[in-house]
Amino acid sequence: MHNQLETLRQFISTSNYIVFFGGAGVSTESGIPDFRSVDGLYSQKYKYPPERIVSRSFFMSNTADYYDFHKARLLHMDAKPNPAHIKLAELEKIGKLKAVITQNIDGLHQSAGSVKVLELHGSVYRNFCMECGLNYEVKFISGSEGVPHCSCGGVIKPDVVLFEEALDDDVMVESIMHIKNADMLIIGGTSLGVYPAAGLLNYYRGSKLVLINKSETPWDERADLVINGSIGEVLNAIVL
């Protein structure tokens, strides 16, 4: 691990356009379970298979059951940023990191101070009425009984990308721009199994592709450096 950290330090010190691409594994050290690890959300027993619940068709047909799950398993308003979020914000502050591209919906990168955060799968902190478009705070959602409704009577939907839904075009275009410009791409805490998010990595053209993940991913062979470990500990070990 020592040599790997040394290589990571060298890559960072010789880069000025670092982009981070992350997933649920970045937030596990903040107490938020990921999806596909053995203790992840998709392994937990629930009234319906969790992967079915977080789909557009389920949201439309079983809205009350969706919200039971959303409030119980997707809202973590007390979670705090961990060293991974904090170090990435520091790298941005010193001008080395230009963007965090995340699949997470927990807002922890912003809480840690990151400014350019591209949320491929949206955020639980943004909610809107499906009829009139009025925006609602997450507190309104967590404080509501059953399905939250707008003052106009419409159903409120969290601004999270459910299965069967498209990602935001502007977020995708900006993410591709940053990855194309990156001289270093750090990927962390993601199984890289969900598209189109994982497909964005194909736009990286540099030679400092770093993967920091507890388990293997389909991109391990293509990475210039693979560190199998806890991303909070690994990034925390980097002295800037």
Catalytic residues: 121
Taking residues 74 to 103 in sequence order and writing x for each that binds ligand APR by CB under 6 A, - otherwise, the string is: -----------------------------x
Of 62-70, 111-119, 175-183, 207-215, which part binds ligand APR (CB under 6 A)?
Answer: 207-215
d(CA 142, CA 225): 41
Considering only the stretches 11-19, 122-130, 175-183, 185-193, report the one whose residues sit in contact with ligand APR under the rule CB under 6 A: 185-193
* Residue 30 near ligand APR by CB under 6 A: no
- Which x/- pattern over 104-143 shows residues binding ligand APR (rule: CB under 6 A)? -----------------x----------------------
Interaction between residue 21 and ligand APR (CB under 6 A): no
Cβ pair 29, 197 in contact under 8 A = no
How far CA 57 is from CA of 104, 157, 213, in Å, comes to 21, 13, 32
Pick between residue 73 and residue 96 the one whose CB is nearest to ligand APR.
73
CA distance 153 to 166: 26
CB of 139 to ligand APR, least distance (A): 23
- 153-192: burial string, b at 16+ Cβ within 10 Å, e else: eeebbbbbbbeeeebbeebbeebeebbeebbbbbbbbbbb
Q: What is the DSSP letter of 99?
A: E
Residues 215 to 234: which contact ligand APR by CB under 6 A?
215, 230-232
* C-beta of 28 vs 114, nearer to ligand APR: 28
Please identify, using beta-carbon distances, which residue of 131 and 222 lies nearer to ligand APR.
222
- Beta carbons within 10 angstroms of residue 63's beta carbon: 17
Question: Which contacts of 70-74 are long-range, i.e. CB under 8 A and separated by 24 or more positions?
Answer: 70/124, 70/141, 70/158, 71/141, 71/142, 73/41, 73/44, 73/46, 74/105, 74/124, 74/158, 74/160
Piece of the chain touching ligand APR by CB under 6 A; list 128-136, 172-180, 209-217, 218-226: 209-217
Give the H or E element holding residue 3.
Answer: helix 2-13
Contact set with ligand APR (CB under 6 A): 23-25, 28-29, 34-37, 40, 103, 121, 189-191, 193-194, 213-215, 230-232
